[in-house]
Amino acid sequence: MKKIITSLCALIAVSAVAQNNGGIDAAMMEQIRSGYKGTAAEVAVKNALTTVPISTLAINGDNLAMCDTHFSHRVKTKGITDQKSSGRCWLFTGLNVLRAKMIVKHDLNGFEFSQNYLSFYDLLEKSNLFLQGIIDTRNLPLDDRKVEWLLKNPIGDGGQFTGVSNLIMKYGAVPSSAMPETYQSNNTRDMRMILSLKLREYALTLREAKKQELTTLKTSMLTEVYGILVKCLGVPPQEFVWTRYNSKGEKVSTQSYTPQSFYKEFVGEDLEKNYVMIMNDPTREYGKVYEIDYDRHIYDGENWLYINLPIERIKEIAIASIKDNTAMYFSCDVGKFFDRKKGVLDVANLDYDSLFDTKFGMNKQQRVQTFASGSSHAMTLIAVDIDNEGKTTKWMVENSWGASSGYKGNLIMTDEWFDEYMFRLVAEREYVPADVLKMLEQKPIMLPAWDPMFAPEE
């Protein structure tokens, strides 16, 4: 009888909650408060949380040991780069992929491309992309979603692999000595703010200008942007002298190059035709090709276009590339379950469920749909560990946060973490199966620029 009365009371309480006007009324508040019992365990957690970071208290004590750092297959690389306080991970990653190939191909002791050189043209091209976008939409109202998106995102230093391919194929590349980093290239926040402010001002001018004035006005605006970039980043070289040394430190040659001739001689591949972009997006149908509007760096360049594949097909491609000593552009949601001290990404690193006595139960698809997860950072995929039974156990990426971060400048991720938080991979065509390449014959499905999966990688 006691059980029946208790159940009836609960039913009445729920009914009362259901009948309110959507706010928290007194009956609901009483029910909510009753959920916290003030047990000894709850008080202990409350006391700890008032003085200690959640990320510290959530550490899983059963997972403190460093994971095994042996990898059955690893790409040969030399050196670790550092993007400092900038959002250029996409650029560092793309150039690190090319750098690894160049070092092996030309027997170099080490090498680094100038990220600053391509950053300069990236920001100039993005300025033109924005201004031309404003011209193209000038007849739409200011509150149109595309116009609103443009004004909210005039420029940034984040991006993705098509930025690497389009910029290099148009402007070439230079060694770091030809255009070294500056304070502003390493610390981009203030420069981005100045450029964004100026571009938004230009947008209003272009929307009000006469049609015949638009090209002249845009050219004048880009000239002023160029001047700002020169003051912040320096003048991009049109010609430079570079001395090449082999892996023994012996001088091989000293020659004069242009950015285009340097890239042609030391890399030489067509980045726009040789690479395939792949995605694991569980919110959309696999086996389809998708394109993202305005997700590019150059107005007359390529939008991000990718084949959506199940995670196991992506692993198949990644393993084939690594086994052939070829690194890949890779991106993921790097902040999730990340042990920065060890440089390990593992879903067992943190135990939020036990700390808060609740279950965090969303899967990958649900996290993407609710904006809880998405690709945030690009790195260079360089290693995989496969056990004696042929099972993949862990992966390693070369990061661009300096040699002292993570595990010797790298990050190690468990295979389970890879499944849950890996999103993008760019591989050379020779490692992509024929049935996947055939998917590129499809007409791409166009997605809007504000799609939740496509924030720039930084």
Q: What is the per-residue pLDDT for 210?
A: 96
Q: What is the per-residue pLDDT for 456?
A: 76
**How does pLDDT run across 412-422, given as a tens digit for each residue?**
999 999 999 99
- Domain assignment present for 452: no
Is 60 labeled as catalytic in the residue annotation? Answer: no
As a whole number of angstroms, the distance between CA 71 and CA 215 comes to: 55
Which amino acid belongs to residue 206?
L
Residue with tokens 């300069």: 120
Which amino acid belongs to residue 81?
T
Query: In angstroms, what CA-CA distances link 55 with 59, 351, 453?
Result: 7, 9, 25
Contact 383, 74 (CB under 8 A): yes
Handedness of CA 87, 92, 93, 94 (dihedral sign): positive
- Domain assignment present for 350: yes
Which residue among 153, 280, 377, 410 is the active-site one?
377
Q: What is the per-residue pLDDT for 4?
A: 46
Domain that holds residue 380: 73-447
Q: What is the per-residue pLDDT for 458?
A: 79
- Domain assignment present for 433: yes
Among candidate residues 59, 81, 53, the one with its CA nearest the CA of residue 339? 59
Number of structural domains the chain divides into: 1
What residues contact 63, with CB distance under 8 A and at least 6 apart? 346, 348, 349
- Domain assignment present for 184: yes
Q: What is the per-residue pLDDT for 338?
A: 97
- Domain assignment present for 305: yes
Which residue among 89, 96, 128, 349 is the active-site one?
89
Q: What is the per-residue pLDDT for 115?
A: 98
Is 377 labeled as catalytic in the residue annotation? Answer: yes
Q: What is the per-residue pLDDT for 20?
A: 65
- Domain assignment present for 59: no
Among candidate residues 75, 93, 104, the one with its CA nearest the CA of residue 380? 93
Which residue among 116, 166, 280, 399 is the active-site one?
399
- Domain assignment present for 127: yes
Q: Which residues of the chain register pLDDT less than 70?
A: 1-20
What is the domain-level CATH number for residue 120? 3.90.70.10
Is 70 labeled as catalytic in the residue annotation? Answer: no
Provide the CB-side half-sphere exposure for 338 (13 A, CA): 14
- Domain assignment present for 341: yes
As a whole number of angstroms, the distance between CA 109 and CA 18 comes to: 71
As a whole number of angstroms, the distance between CA 271 and CA 264 comes to: 11
